[in-house]
Homo-oligomer: A and B are copies of this chain.
Amino acid sequence: MEAQETIFVKMALDAWDTQSGRADKLIQSLSDEALAQETAPGRNSGIYLVGHLTAVHDAMIPLLGLGDKLYPQLETIFLKNPDKSGLEKPAVADIRLYWNTVQAVLNNHFVEIKPEDWFKKHATISHEDFLKEPHRNKLSVLINRTNHLAYHLGQMAYLKK
């Protein structure tokens, strides 16, 4: 059933590619000024959401056993604290670079990962738990992060005039 395994992985990667492609297109289409705006009154800014998505996707690198985070400094600003934390954020040009780099690194890995390796355990579940819950594998990380991306993409779409 190697063929079927390949089909599963293709379905999950297609969904990731669709949402990632939409996010790339939206971010590129927005000016720095537009990205600095709140997505709705009193809500997260576009910059915060791009930084947040970048930090979440950067954390996928160690979670999937692909290496270390590229930008661990994003965690405090965009994961552990809210938009109006008062913490200094990187320049918009840098956030764009971080996003593009993390996405490129992930996507380069994704074309190399063998279908069967997606069904192996991710980094934060123990071997014992994985025996009982084999669905908590690397592919489940990809599926969950794709939905998380879609959720915030719906909000970032409000930055378009």
Residues of A within 8 A of B (CB): 1, 3-5, 7-8, 10-12, 14-15, 18-19, 39-41, 43, 119, 134-135, 137, 139-140, 143-144, 146-148, 150-155, 157-158
Contact = CB atoms under 8 A, between A and B. Distances in A.
17 contacts: A4-B119, A7-B135, A7-B137, A11-B135, A11-B143, A12-B143, A14-B135, A19-B147, A39-B40, A40-B40, A40-B41, A41-B41, A148-B150, A150-B150, A151-B151, A151-B153, A154-B155
A41 B158 CA distance: 9
Contact of A158 (B18, B40, B134): B40
Copies of this polypeptide in the complex: 2
The DSSP consensus for interface residues of chain A is helix
A101 to B, nearest CB: 24
A92 B145 CA distance: 32
Contacts of A12: 143
A139 B139 CA distance: 15
